[in-house]
Amino acid sequence: MSRLPEPDNPTEVVVGVGPLSPTEVVAVARHGARVTLSDEAAEGITATRRIIEDLAVDSRPHYGISTGFGALATTSIPPEKRARLQRSLVRSHAAGSGPEVEREVTRALMLLRLSTLATGRTGVRLETAQAYAALLDAGITPVVREHGSLGCSGDLAPLAHCALAVLGEGMVRVGAAAGADHATWTQTPQELLPAGEALARAGIAPVELAEKEGLALINGTDGMLGMLVLALHDLGTLLTTADVAAAMSVEGQLGTDDVFAADLQALRPHPGQARSAENLRALLAGSAIRESHRTDACTRVQDAYSLRCSPQVHGSARDTCGYARTVADRELAAAIDNPVVTLDGRVESNGNFHGAPVAHVLDFLAIVAADVAGISERRTDRFLDVARSHGLPPFLADDPGTDSGLMIAQYTQAAVVAELKRLAAPASVDSIPSSAMQEDHVSMGWGAARALRRSVDGLARVVAVEVLTAARALDLRAPLTPAPATAAVVALLRESGVEGPGPDRHLSPEIETVVDLVLDGRVRAAAEQVTGLLS
């Protein structure tokens, strides 16, 4: 499912010695921004390559340059076999299996590996780094398989599939070249081709790997980091949209906004909670529905937790995302390889390829997605129960009994929430040793990232059903009118072909329409036309 580009997305990204921004990663991975290598990066790559070439003729063994890899690190490789060593490394490590990974994930992975190459800390040749930029620019996406990475030494198998394509081997997908307009980029069919043929079509020469280069192309956390950056981008939209959905539910269920008062939230000074409550106050401002029960006749003292505690749950999710962004920013600034060329010219082995820092926050975010989806489903369910919906018809049906209304939409929500709970089981607590016990503790970060992608998609679907349900409930409160911000969301749905209350109809297309509106940010944007930018 494609995402619409944001107005501030760059159309060209220059990869230099410094870190890429999350916005740049999303622009290249998802929207086809062009990629170039900076002059400063080219100079640094050329300078450090000389260090590797000097070590290649040294009589002493140097890991990954004149030795084998992993458990074979003690095996000395003679000069005449070293090019074959690097080529064999890539071929043997391109051992993934299962469905193809999404294009945006593979492009993010390649861009982030290029970013590390650009730091000059890996010792590759300039033409090797330039080949990665050329593939990204030509819209050539290596076929990477779902299974194969243990997240240590980085994402070996996925990165090896990308390196294999740079050699002109393996299979790739070819679509629109970078820089195409969004419609062309997202809608051009992805043709499956042998990599050699695709490179020839694009005028790109296959790379003949030299000493250390194969190792430098596969030793990084780029896959799990790319998926983390993409997930955080989407969660930024989804958590604000969850506030929009919660406001619609509070309003539609005749709840109170008094509990969202700033002074009450300040008694527990979590920043995410304060931002969520601020959003809710802005979204509910001017609601005639809310004013209708602000009387002595209303005997309810407190709303249910799923309504009253929305800022606490959504806010904690925001704060967790904040920590995850800190980790992502640190990783984007990292130069991960093993061995690595230090700033003073040493070539040293290290353990920076271990994916634990990224794996942990990937797992945290899957927990967040499950919890926010869980409270969204509980708010939705209250609309459908005549004993708890404060005067709404059973299941919001037009003719209850003959019609089932939104009964099964909530079933779909519940099924997704159950799946999200399973996906929230942390991957990073597991470790299966590999490479003859040389790699005896691994992060499983790639698996955590794959689970998080499914979790983000599931959260969007759950929030979409809540928005769909709350919009119908707000219509059923007529002639009372909702707040201008929530009314704008209802209007968006109706303009998009999602009908209001009435006899039963095919619901699945309407749910998918709202999922699209949630994922690409249009639900959030509709509310923000009234409130201004929500946090």
Distances (CA, A) of 340 to 120, 129, 288, 424, 526: 9, 16, 64, 34, 49
Query: Phi then psi for 3, rounded to 5 degrees?
Result: -110, 140
CB neighbour class for 318 (10 Å; exposed up to 12, middle 13-18, buried from 19): buried
Tokens describing residue 407: 């009964």
In contact, 367 and 424? CB cutoff 8 Å: yes
Return the half-sphere exposure (C-beta side, CA atoms, 13 A cut-off) of residue 457: 13
- How many other C-beta atoms are found inside a 10 Å radius of the C-beta of residue 331? 22
Residue 63 annotated as catalytic: yes
Query: Phi then psi for 147, rounded to 5 degrees?
Result: -105, 140
CA torsion sign for 478, 483, 487, 490 is negative
**Closest to 124 in 3D by CA, of 54, 49, 50, 215:** 49
CA-to-CA distance for 319 and 324, rounded, in angstroms?
9
In contact, 523 and 517? CB cutoff 8 Å: yes
Report the length, in residues, of the chain: 535
In contact, 466 and 249? CB cutoff 8 Å: yes
457 alpha-carbon distance from chain centroid = 9
For helices 222-252 and 310-332, angle between their N-to-C axes, nearest 10 degrees? 160
SS3 118: helix
In contact, 113 and 132? CB cutoff 8 Å: yes
CA-to-CA distance for 312 and 300, rounded, in angstroms?
21
User: What residues are annotated to the active site?
Assistant: 63
